[in-house]
Structure 1
Amino acid sequence: MTRLVRAQIFRIAAAAAMTVGVAGCATTPTAQIDATPVGGARLYAFQSPSAEASAVIVMTRDSGTFGGGCRILVSLDGVKAASLASGETAKFFVPSGERILKAEKDGSGVCWPDPGNFNERETVISKGQTKQFRVAFDLNGRPDIQRSSP
């Protein structure tokens, strides 16, 4: 086999390995109906509806291997709300108005706390309205929150 043929085979094999590696790390959005509810011990706040807290925020964590060993801590307006594992969902009852959503590593499992590694999103929600969000790790390993459809 010539050096040129070996080099071409190597390039093809390397490209195939990279493709498989990236695809293996991908996460998949999880529909709320298919997600597992977060266990009560990892739900920290916003669990009771009231006349004031009649808007609903639903956060559903992606499924997949990328970041699967780490839980994501979600906070609403600076208050720790829940710790989501891969494929889990949680519902929060909040007052209407502007809300700040935050996602960060919670330091459990194979993850370590990383205080500067978080994302925040702003949303405005009306009384009686429900908004859904997707929670995942981006390809840089940073927890993220994105608006999603029901």
Structure 2
Amino acid sequence: MKRIVAAVASLALASCIQATKPAAPESVIPVPTERLYLFQETTDETSQVVATRDIGLLAKGCPMTFLVDGQKAADIRTGERAVFNLAAGEHVIGVEPSGGGLCAMGDERRHRNEISVTIKTGESKRFRLSVDVNGKPGIAPTTL
């Protein structure tokens, strides 16, 4: 009987811990200005990178830092969106755990996930920030 109870409890817990999912657009909120550190000034020469954090139980346990060209641009929590104004050209953007939480076990740089993106003047590109079931941060283009 104890084995059955343990098995059912394990299955219930496993079903709760799922990869993150996109937030409904109407429920997304902006990152507060005190957690936006760089790339906030806009000019006629800049382009926009929009980063939106997923929602879900696993996401709440993984605070994230958004990086632009290796620089800490913002700390973004679940269901939040930030807009970054970048010069046209090629940039490396990414996410990593921002300390503490489920995803920061061990060396945080080991969990960093980055991609290269090329943007044109006046262009806007959107990215989804996620966490997989192993606690690894993800970043991918999105239309949301």
Structure-1-length-normalised TM-score: 0.80
- Per-residue deviation, 1:106: 0.6
Structure-2 residue corresponding to 1:51: 44
Equivalent of 2:84, from 68, 86, 92?
92
Matching residue's letter, 2:16:
G
Residue 141 of structure 2 aligns to a residue in which SS? strand
Deviation sequence 1:55-109 (CA, Å, 0-9, x none):
1100000011103133100111122111011111100011111111111011156
Residue 115 of structure 1 aligns to a residue in which SS? helix
Residue 108 of structure 2 aligns to a residue in which SS? coil
Q: Is the 8 Å Cα contact of residues 101 and 122 (structure 1) preserved in structure 2?
A: yes
Structure number with bigger Rg? 1
- Per-residue deviation, 1:137: 1.2
Inter-CA distance 19–78: structure 2 relative to 1 (3 Å threshold):
same
Over 4 Å off, 4+ runs:
16-19, 108-113
Equivalent of 2:71, from 67, 72, 79?
79
- CA distance in 2 between counterparts of 1:93 and 1:115 reads 25
Matching residue's letter, 1:30:
A
Equivalent of 1:117, from 97, 111, 114?
111
Q: Is the 8 Å Cα contact of residues 31 and 60 (structure 1) preserved in structure 2?
A: no
Structure 2 gap ranges (5+) = none
Inter-CA distance 125–117: structure 2 relative to 1 (3 Å threshold):
same
Residue 67 of structure 1 aligns to a residue in which SS? helix
Structure 1 gap ranges (5+) = 1-5
- Per-residue deviation, 1:33: 3.9
Percentage of matched positions with identical amino acids: 35
Q: Which structure has more RCO (C-alpha within 8 Å, separation ≥ 6)?
A: 2
Structure-2-length-normalised TM-score: 0.83
Superposition CA RMSD, Å: 2.3
Aligned length in residues: 139
Q: Is the 8 Å Cα contact of residues 62 and 135 (structure 2) preserved in structure 1?
A: no
Residue 103 of structure 1 aligns to a residue in which SS? strand
